[in-house]
Amino acid sequence: MAGRFSPRPTRTTVRGGYVGVPRQGSGAGADEAGLVREYVPDGALDLGLVLGPLRRGPGDPTFRVMPDGSVWRASLTPAGPGTLRVAAVDGGGVVRGEAWGPGAKWLLERLPELLGAADAPEAFVPRHRVVAVARHRRPGLRLTRTGLVLESLIPSVLEQKVTTDEAYRAWRLLVRKFGEPAPGPAAGGRLWVMPAPRAWALIPSWEWHRAGVDDKRAATILRAVRVAGRMEEAVGMTAEDARARLEVVPGVGPWTSAETVQRSHGAADAVTVGDLHLPGIVGWALAGDRGADDAVMLELLEPYAGQRHRAARLILLSGRVPGRRGPRMRRGDIGGL
């Protein structure tokens, strides 16, 4: 249902729609007015499960979870930087989005898709008990669709063949140094918008090194931001066509493109191949095979064709994972995927 933005404060909840209103913020920056949208999802919705994949570690400067359960995100939208606060109200049956900055309206217009409105979890049919149990225990799982490519592509490149701690540190340092403070109350002033494409392009080589990013990953990001417009155009494509476009950029392979479209497109079938741990986790959960490789994983997930990423998410959420063996990846073991 189409919504509208109103100049008068009002509270109207429309199923699947919204009404935007000016609203005073709270806490730091309370004098900055924002826009509000209230959205009623169809079915159960778990904010943590839906938005969790967008968080790049506990110190992600673009993402905050507050003590009251609200989630704050800062994004660089086509309309400019914007801050979005999302919280469940009325016992969880209504989700309220508040947004600030030039990108506020853009963020609120896409709030339902961010919360999984374009997803179709009812089409998923569990074929294994472990998957069925995980789905039953996590009824609020929906796949987010951000409608933004670079904000998922760049951190995914940073995560290529390094430990998550290394990748999260690089993202945190680069965003804080070359991004900008998020508009509005912005979670008490602790939220940042990632750098614009030109800002990424102007990062000196020594700053990449200080952040622990090798030349190969830095070069991949620089190639991507030089064609930022073409990258963002991929949002209007199918997930498969979008992946093909992303993989034209040298250094972006199947692992990185899958990790990107899972978030930008809500791609239910974009299973991640080339991952260090996922094949073993899927193999163990579905067949008791802790040594499974990509080929075995894809064979096991074949009954979920069209929904393989969702199946993998549920397996990860099931907690049924093999004990890790062998040494951890050494610092500096890097490459492109």
Q: What is the pLDDT of residue 322?
A: 81
The CA distance from 242 to 113, in Å, is 18
Lookup: tokens for 272: 């991640």
What is each CA distance from 92 to 87, 96, 155, in whole angstroms?
A: 9, 10, 31
The answer to whether residue 48 scores a pLDDT higher than 80 is yes
The CATH code of the domain at 4-121 is 3.30.310
The runs of H, that is alpha helices, within 86-196 are: 104-109, 111-114, 129-137, 150-158, 164-178, 186-189
Q: What is the pLDDT of residue 189?
A: 82
What is each CA distance from 220 to 55, 171, 214, in whole angstroms?
A: 21, 15, 10
Q: What is the pLDDT of residue 18?
A: 43
The CA distance from 317 to 142, in Å, is 13
The CA distance from 18 to 320, in Å, is 39
Question: Strands, DSSP E only, in the chain?
Answer: 4-5, 14-15, 19-20, 22-24, 33-40, 63-65, 71-77, 80-89, 94-100, 180-181, 192-193
Percent of the chain at pLDDT > 70 equals 86
Domain 4-121 and domain 150-264, same fold? Reply is no
Q: What is the pLDDT of residue 325?
A: 54
Q: Domain locations in the chain?
A: 4-121, 150-264
**What average pLDDT does range 166-180 have in this prediction?**
98
- φ/ψ bin of 188: left (φ > 0), alpha (ψ from -120 to 50), beta (otherwise): left
The answer to whether residue 254 scores a pLDDT higher than 50 is yes
Q: What is the pLDDT of residue 47?
A: 95
Summarised one tens digit per residue, pLDDT across range 279-334 is 999 999 999 998 999 999 999 999 999 999 999 999 999 988 886 654 444 433 33
The answer to whether residue 4 scores a pLDDT higher than 60 is no
Q: What is the pLDDT of residue 92?
A: 73
Contact 315, 130 (CB under 8 A): yes
Summarised one tens digit per residue, pLDDT across range 63-92 is 999 999 999 999 999 999 999 999 999 777
Q: What is the pLDDT of residue 11?
A: 38
The answer to whether residue 104 scores a pLDDT higher than 90 is yes
Q: What is the pLDDT of residue 9?
A: 31
Which of the two residues, 33 and 8, has the higher pLDDT score? 33
Q: What is the pLDDT of residue 324?
A: 60
Q: What is the pLDDT of residue 310?
A: 98
**What average pLDDT does range 35-51 have in this prediction?**
95
Q: What is the pLDDT of residue 32?
A: 65
pLDDT band at 25 (very low <50, low <70, confident <90, very high): very low
**What average pLDDT does range 229-257 have in this prediction?**
98
Average pLDDT score over the chain:
88
pLDDT band at 187 (very low <50, low <70, confident <90, very high): confident
Q: What is the pLDDT of residue 178?
A: 98
Contact 221, 206 (CB under 8 A): no
Percent of the chain at pLDDT > 90 equals 80
Q: Which CATH class is domain 150-264?
A: mainly alpha
The answer to whether residue 7 scores a pLDDT higher than 70 is no
The answer to whether residue 31 scores a pLDDT higher than 60 is no
Contact 246, 256 (CB under 8 A): yes
Provide DSSP, 224-275: HHHTHHHHHHGGGS-HHHHHHHHTTSTT--HHHHHHHHHHHT--TT----S-
**What average pLDDT does range 111-130 have in this prediction?**
96
Token look-up 């509005």 returns 184
Q: What is the pLDDT of residue 172?
A: 98
